[in-house]
Amino acid sequence: MPRKTAKKVQTVGVRAPMPQALSPQLATLADAIPRTGDWLYEIKLDGYRLMARFEHGRPALITRRGHDWSAKMPKLIKELAALGIESAWLDGEVVVLREDGVPDFNALQNAFDQNSSGNIVYFLFDVPYFNG
């Protein structure tokens, strides 16, 4: 039986200026598991999908529709700034986790309503642009 060989994956990016805007790569709903081809899955987290945009070392949290939500999550902005990233786009989702580790969308909404965004966790999915 012939041995399958792994596809060669590009590990080096192409230098380019930072895009002004990017959209997250969203999951596609399917009726069944694909029967052929390479495919991946992501866990449904029940949060808000946000892009973190770093320009000159300053992060901003951008919604899928392009709104800046940085003021809603000052603690997360402070933690992102501490990473020391000069220019980047990060793709992730913010959630609030229950004690058992399960995301709680209602608790996330309440965190914004009560100005207590300190319990918000940012799950990073992808880094589509990083320092050039």
Q: Which residues are catalytic?
A: 44
Residue 131 CA to residue 125 CA, distance in Å, equals 18
Q: Is 109 helix (H, G, I), strand (E, B) or coil?
A: helix
Token pair for 17: 């200026």
Scan for tokens 């050039």, then name that residue.
Answer: 132
Tokens, residue 73:
């999550």
* Residue 121: Cβ-neighbour burial (10 angstroms; 0-12, 13-18, 19+): middle
